[in-house]
Structure 1
């Protein structure tokens, strides 16, 4: 029997669809699952690039580099459709967008969607600072870097308030994206499945993932405590149940954008980034 290696990302919104599978609430038929929880999106991107996992949740910006080896699951592309997850550009000091272009920029990793959107929509920065973990990003703001793209916006804003750190919102990726894209969804992350498994197995995994996702969304009060437990263990940090719940609710919206709109967002994202020489060309969106 085939064993599928799953690398679930330790972020509340990306993790919740996998929890019923982790907990055995939903059981696959015809294949086994070997699930590990990966701490950061940068780690996920690296594992997918090296093809160390069969299923994972890389940045949308990684797809051009892995398009020959992975399918995109149509029911698992996180896409922003409003400012709820707008990826604001935050700084400690008041600064203009022109000031930002000369400042030290904090991002999760070099191939993240956040950094790619920054390059597409803002362009320049003074120095790039890579801080992979969300809470470490906050601690680095004003010390290691002057500004950051707040990917996990709800979690980020909550943590900043808890720490008593006041920030200045310079702009947001969403506000700039909707103007340049004609208001199509803004891709962020996606679940991909290895083509080495074959299309039939890939589709079977997609169906099981959908069952798991729906179970999680219908039983959030059962899922959230496990989400907090896994996240706290992997991130080695105390996480507030309320903020995890709010993060999941925001991501439920992102993971349930109609497929036609998701595809428009992906096509626009890859077209614009190729035209600007930011990402390689996507030959075909291989979506299952």
Structure 2
């Protein structure tokens, strides 16, 4: 029986669909699953680039580099459709958009969608600061960097409040994106599947993933404690149950955008990124 290596990202919003499978609440039929929990988005991006996992949750911006190796699961693309998870640009002091070109920019990886959207929609910065862990980004704001792109903003805002930090919102990726995209969904992350395992198995996994995701959404009381435990073990931080719940609720909206709208957003994103020289061309948007 085939064993599929799954690299689950240790972020509450991206992790929740996998927890029922990890916990045996939903069982795959016809294949086995082997799980590895990966601490950061940048580490996920590196692992899919090296093809060390069969399934994982890389940044949407990684797809042009892995398009020959992985399918995109059409029911597993995190897409912003409003400003709730719109990736705000936060600053330690009041700042205008025109000041961003002279700022020290904090991002959690060079291949992330957050940084790619910044390059696509804003463009310039004075210095790039890479800090892979989300909560470490907060501590660097105002010290190592002037601004950051807040991907996990619910957790980010909560943690800042606990630290006594009051950030200023300069703008958001969503506000800038919707002006040039005719309100198409804004891609952020995606679940991908190793093409070497074949399209048929990819479709079987997609169906199993959907069952797991729906189970999680109906049984959050079971899922959230496990999510908190995994985050504590992997990230080395205690995140309040309330914040995990709010993060998951926000991501439930992102992971349930209709597939035709998801594809519209992906096509718009890759077309604009290629035209502006930010990403290589996507030859074939291979969605299952």
Q: Deviations over 1:191-213 (max 9, x none)?
A: 00000111111111111111100
Gaps of 5+ in 2: none
Counterparts of 2:4 and 2:233, CA distance in 1: 23
Aligned residues: 288
Q: How far off is 1:16 after superposition?
A: 0.2
The answer for the alignment partner of 2:138 in structure 1 is 138
The answer for the alignment partner of 1:203 in structure 2 is 203
Confirm or deny that 1:164 pairs with 2:164: yes
Counterparts of 1:95 and 1:13, CA distance in 2: 30
The answer for the alignment partner of 2:254 in structure 1 is 254
The answer for the alignment partner of 1:223 in structure 2 is 223
Counterparts of 1:276 and 1:187, CA distance in 2: 17
Counterparts of 1:196 and 1:43, CA distance in 2: 22
Counterparts of 1:32 and 1:86, CA distance in 2: 36
Q: Deviations over 1:9-45 (max 9, x none)?
A: 0000000000000001111111110001100000000
The answer for the alignment partner of 1:52 in structure 2 is 52
Local SS of the residue matching 1:27? coil
Counterparts of 1:80 and 1:198, CA distance in 2: 29
Counterparts of 1:283 and 1:148, CA distance in 2: 32
Q: Deviations over 1:166-192 (max 9, x none)?
A: 111100000000001111000000000
Q: How far off is 1:96 after superposition?
A: 1.2
The answer for the alignment partner of 2:180 in structure 1 is 180
The answer for the alignment partner of 2:98 in structure 1 is 98
Q: Structure 1 stretches (4+) deviating beyond 6 angstroms? A: none
Local SS of the residue matching 1:239? coil
Gaps of 5+ in 1: none
TM-score between both structures, scaled by the size of structure 2? 0.99
Local SS of the residue matching 1:83? coil
